[in-house]
Structure 1
Amino acid sequence: MNIKKVLFGVTFIMSTMAGHSQSVFQVKQQSLPNPDNEPTAVFPVPSDRQMKWQETEFYAFFHYGMNTYTNREWGLGSEDVTLFAPTKKPNPTQWLKAVKAAGMKGGIAVVKHHDGFCLWPTSTTDHSIVNAGNENGKTTNIPRDFAKAARSLGMKYGFYVSPWDRNSQYYGTEKYVNDVFLRQCAELAQYGKDQFEMWFDGANGGDGYYGGRNTTVNVDRSTYYDIPNLRDSIHKVCPDIILWGVGAEARWIGNEAGWAGETNWLTDERGYAPESNGMYGTEDGWQWDPGESDAKFTDKGWFWHEGEKPLSVERLFQMYLETVGRNATLILNCPPDKTGLLPDIDVRVLKDMGNMIRTRLGKDLAQKAKVSVSNTRKAGANRNYAAKNLTDNNKNTYWATDDGVKQATITFNWDKSQTVRYVDMMEYIRKGQRVRKFHIEISEDGKTWKPIAEKCTTTTIGYKRIIPLNGSTSDSYGKGYQVKGLKVVIDDSKACPLLHSIKVF
């Protein structure tokens, strides 16, 4: 009888507590407010530092160092430090002025390549400019001078530091990571908290001098370099820096030939997708992993070599269309010679390249067109999504459709005929990459329409897509087309399309 009473009491108490807990913890579900009627993001989306990096678009590589004086591409690590003997004082200001004239917004200086020779007075090794072969070399400090020059010119800057070190006796051991590589990265971070990129090559291990061991050392780059610690440490000092390569914040576009895929997603599945997938990305990739295309400005190696010549301006413009114009960034290598300067012919061609870009992609005809759209998202309290946002040159505004509307048409009309050759489009990628398919139409009379640029694969847009209307990037300029109307038709999108800008040239 007592047992029954105890069981009854326990049952009563538990049922009372259950009822009480439901009343205490049961919260009425409420939807979050959206007063600006902003579209829901399509994940993944870029971090703020990735967005700033993408906006750089076009910047330079400067491969300069011991290899410049040994006529090598990959030094062995056993080179006599006195071989580094510039015939003039190296001048990063001259480098950066030349590439700025080409339309570049910044540059990355190679300050340590695989041979381990450091172009700054580092505490981690004697294999550096401290022991160079002349005063021009000994008084050089490329990170210091490069950062100062970039700031004075209003340009972005960063450094390439090779994880692989064929000179260090410690390479392959934990001591190398802790006492050499990570310290070198930390030293370079101190040259400026406003750096935009630190570049790590994919070459990691092989034969080398290794402090006299003269052996072969291989490492697992995915674990050896303690990348999570490196990334967190560098970001504390340089909040806007992108760690390229092993840093896993931007991907290699997949070739060194200056082109990206016409279908190019900013998302990928690093570690799962094959490296050859770099030109295209992965449509439903789980990671925001934008592509950077590294290419050579000259016809020989990455470092300067006797007898080399710059590529033609037309070829360089083609590379621009096939990288920046295909949703990637372009880092174009311009190697200084033994004087520590860019050769005069390189400077002239860079200036010509800049003039060509400004001539062909400088006068936006969309600015004087009447713009209409098939659908416009309802405005919110502090934001609208009108067609005028496509031409207002404000990176924080965009045109959008209503939820569920995945197809749309944007039409440009002019009173008088215009000669058109290119269409430049940008998605508002802060809320993800969306467009899967589009096409372009033109009208000579403003009434009858026909498709154009049919030789181009018109799938993705992303951060930026430049379409040559004749369908060719190798012979893109031509006579152009006389039109009174032009349409951009979004045929398919992951969600309501968001376009930040459309320009017509």
Structure 2
Amino acid sequence: MKKIYTLFSALCLAAAAPGTLSAQNNFKLVEESVSNPDNTPAPVYPVPSERQLKWNETEFYAFFHYGMNTYTNEEWGSGMERETVFAPTQKPDPKQWLEVAQKAGMRGGIAVVKHHDGFCLWPTKTTEHCTRNSSGYGKNVDIPKEFAEAARALKMKYGFYISPWDMSSPYWGKKDSNGNYTDEYAKLVFLPQCAELAKYGDDQFEMWFDGATGGEHAGGYGSYTSSQKRTIDNAQTYYDIPNLRDSIHNLLPNVIMWGVGGEARWIGNEEGYSGQTCWSMGDAESGNEDAWQWAAGESDAKSTKGWFWDSRKNNEAKSAERLFQMYLETVGRNATFLLNLPPNKAGVIDQSLVTIMEDLGNKLKTRLGTDLAKNATITANTTREAMGKGNYDAKNMTDGDKNTYWAAPDGQNTAEITLEWSTPQTLRYVSLMEYIKLGQRVKKFKIETSEDGVTYTKRATQQTMTTVGYKRIIPLNGSTVSSYSGSGIKAKYLRITIEDAKACPLLHTVEVF
């Protein structure tokens, strides 16, 4: 509330309280509501939508590349494979896929249900190139149905990958007699397929669209031959993307449409890292702090040599230690981490990969599972004034509530936050999270430790400590490669100094491991 003085007339005062009037009696303290009664910080635009926030909170989730290519041992099919080639040696088990992901510390998964070859892993009405025409365990398999049901049972988020490019369809890339592309593929195949997938549940968190638009791999189906290579020159128009966005968002209010929705971006590589400077706006690994649209980064990466399981080769799975490094360099650098786990010909995650995922999950729990900040006294050298229902105290950073946050006053773009323990602790990681509902702000910070609260030593000097965003994890020894090696850092005090920000900084969580 803003307090203001209002002059009342002597007549009114006399009527209310007869008696001798004085100059002091001519003023009365009253309270008037103002537009910002809680002293809430002004947003720094752009800011994320509610569905973008929910998507970001998924953090770490699985990609499951499974389909016709699993049975041809190819990364890219031709679209000319017989439907009976899809022949699982037992009933595929999407629940097992998600259970393995959950053991690895993931919060959801995205199932590839149609790759570029066009084969659909459900009995779709849009094409004969689907499981309806497979045989044995593959006949009428409905991967989207079982995947969605399993995700709900495990309380995990889920979504589907559907390739816009379709090498099996005679409509894809088709031109009329004047040499113009027809709209038959979008109307008869692609948009109806997306609508079918939407019906598997309105709680989907991501629908994933690859950017491939034809080229040297394009074969054909029906009247086409493998020598007829087709391309399109404008995916936005050809796939009727504006209509697709509106239609799917109406059906799936919380879904992020990756690749076509303008809501999230590819981080720029498939190697499992983002830039140490990483804005949630712009493009590529580092983003752009001046970009006008919110588009946080997603890093998709392989746990094995290829995207699909290849039974002919050594799949060369990455070690749990390497995957933990990738986690620090994605989730720990303001990006989400989409890690591929390819099911084998039996339709399950191979035991060799299961073992690695269990190891990764144990490492995440051991190394980032016990938050020492909860037992510390946390203070800040500057704090925004609490007004109305607003509370911006430093304690909000360690209360475990993402909806409460510490804030600096307006015009204050620097701050010091100090954690103190009653006894020395062994420290290895610091995790910071901005209150991004009101925009990304921090541009530069540093971390120091002390044994006596007087002499401080700067830590992680090899790390570029610029942006924070949704989450930033700093290994105090400065290395993501050997972040857990050594004896750790003994300290009784830890100080985080925000040296520059776009506006008054806001942090909702500080964790120390």
TM-score of the superposed pair, with normalisation by structure 2: 0.89
The equivalent of 2:186 in structure 1 is 177
Superposed, which structure 2 residues align to 1:277-316 within 5 Å? Answer: 277-298=283-304, 300-306=305-311, 307-316=314-323
The equivalent of 2:422 in structure 1 is 415
The equivalent of 1:369 in structure 2 is 376
Q: Contact 1:446–1:483 (CA<8 Å) still a contact in 2? A: no
Distance 2:223 2:361 in 1: 47
Q: Contact 1:242–1:250 (CA<8 Å) still a contact in 2? A: yes
Match for residue 250 of structure 1 among 260, 264, 273: 264
Report the secondary structure of 1:187's partner residue. Answer: helix
Report the secondary structure of 2:373's partner residue. Answer: helix
1:489 aligns with 2:502: no
Q: C-alpha displacement at 1:297, in angstroms? A: 1.1
Match for residue 247 of structure 2 among 221, 233, 238: 233
The equivalent of 2:230 in structure 1 is 217
Distance 1:278 1:142 in 2: 32
The equivalent of 2:456 in structure 1 is 449
Match for residue 204 of structure 2 among 151, 175, 195: 195
Superposed, which structure 2 residues align to 1:3-18 within 5 Å? Answer: none
Report the secondary structure of 1:366's partner residue. Answer: helix
Identify unmatched segments of 5+ residues in structure 2.
1-31, 174-181
1:85 aligns with 2:91: no
Q: Contact 2:133–2:140 (CA<8 Å) still a contact in 1? A: no
Distance 1:289 1:222 in 2: 18
Q: Deviations over 1:176-207 (max 9, x none)?
A: 01110000000000000000000000111223
Q: Contact 1:221–1:246 (CA<8 Å) still a contact in 2? A: no
Letter in 2 for 1:107: G
Report the secondary structure of 2:494's partner residue. Answer: strand
Distance 1:224 1:408 in 2: 51
Distance 2:496 2:236 in 1: 43
Q: Indicate the larger mover: 317-326 or 244-253.
A: 244-253
1:159 aligns with 2:168: no
- Figure out how many residues of one structure are paired with residues of the other and give that number: 466
Distance 2:128 2:378 in 1: 63
Q: Contact 2:280–2:297 (CA<8 Å) still a contact in 1? A: yes
Report percent identity of matched pairs: 61
Distance 1:429 1:184 in 2: 34
The equivalent of 1:122 in structure 2 is 124
Q: C-alpha displacement at 1:446, in angstroms? A: 2.4
Distance 1:374 1:468 in 2: 24
Q: Contact 1:435–1:459 (CA<8 Å) still a contact in 2? A: yes
1:350 aligns with 2:351: no
1:145 aligns with 2:121: no
Q: Deviations over 1:483-502 (max 9, x none)?
A: 01111100000000000100
Q: Deviations over 1:9-31 (max 9, x none)?
A: xxxxxxxxxxxxxxxxxxxxx99
Distance 2:318 2:231 in 1: 36
Q: C-alpha displacement at 1:32, in angstroms? A: 5.8
Q: C-alpha displacement at 1:235, in angstroms? A: 1.0
The equivalent of 1:380 in structure 2 is 387
Q: Deviations over 1:393-441 (max 9, x none)?
A: 1111100010000000000111211000000000000000000000101
Letter in 2 for 1:197: E
Q: Which has the higher helix share?
A: 1
Report the secondary structure of 2:458's partner residue. Answer: strand
Q: Indicate the larger mover: 118-127 or 246-255.
A: 246-255
Distance 1:425 1:452 in 2: 15
Distance 1:97 1:470 in 2: 33
Identify unmatched segments of 5+ residues in structure 1.
1-29, 269-276
1:135 aligns with 2:144: no
Q: Indicate the larger mover: 305-314 or 466-475.
A: 305-314
Q: Contact 2:123–2:140 (CA<8 Å) still a contact in 1? A: no
The equivalent of 2:15 in structure 1 is none
Q: C-alpha displacement at 1:217, in angstroms? A: 2.0
Distance 2:33 2:163 in 1: 50
Distance 2:120 2:261 in 1: 21
The equivalent of 2:113 in structure 1 is 111
Q: C-alpha displacement at 1:302, in angstroms? A: 0.2
Q: Contact 1:169–1:212 (CA<8 Å) still a contact in 2? A: yes
Report the secondary structure of 1:295's partner residue. Answer: strand
Given the superposition, is the C-alpha separation of residues 371 and 243 from structure 1 closer, same or farther in structure 2, using an over 3 Å criterion?
same
Letter in 2 for 1:350: M
Distance 1:284 1:175 in 2: 40
Distance 2:324 2:69 in 1: 28
Q: Deviations over 1:69-99 (max 9, x none)?
A: 0011111111111100000100001000111
Letter in 1 for 2:289: E
Q: Deviations over 1:295-323 (max 9, x none)?
A: 0111x110001221321111010000000
Distance 1:367 1:264 in 2: 27
Report the secondary structure of 1:109's partner residue. Answer: strand
Q: Contact 1:390–1:499 (CA<8 Å) still a contact in 2? A: yes
The equivalent of 1:396 in structure 2 is 403
Distance 2:96 2:501 in 1: 45
Q: Deviations over 1:456-477 (max 9, x none)?
A: 0000000000000011001101
The equivalent of 1:13 in structure 2 is none
Q: Contact 1:424–1:502 (CA<8 Å) still a contact in 2? A: yes
Superposed, which structure 2 residues align to 1:27-38 within 5 Å? Answer: 33-38=35-40
Q: C-alpha displacement at 1:210, in angstroms? A: 4.5
Q: C-alpha displacement at 1:445, in angstroms? A: 2.2
Report the secondary structure of 1:229's partner residue. Answer: helix
TM-score of the superposed pair, with normalisation by structure 1: 0.91
Q: C-alpha displacement at 1:442, in angstroms? A: 0.7
Q: C-alpha displacement at 1:444, in angstroms? A: 2.0
Report the secondary structure of 1:208's partner residue. Answer: coil
Distance 1:287 1:32 in 2: 30
The equivalent of 1:98 in structure 2 is 100
Superposed, which structure 2 residues align to 1:267-282 within 5 Å? Answer: 267-268=281-282, 277-282=283-288
Distance 2:504 2:488 in 1: 32
Task: State the 4+ residue runs in structure 1 displaced beyond 3 angstroms.
Answer: none
Q: Deviations over 1:88-125 (max 9, x none)?
A: 10000100011101110000000000000000011100
The equivalent of 1:480 in structure 2 is 488
Report the secondary structure of 1:278's partner residue. Answer: coil
Distance 1:210 1:498 in 2: 56
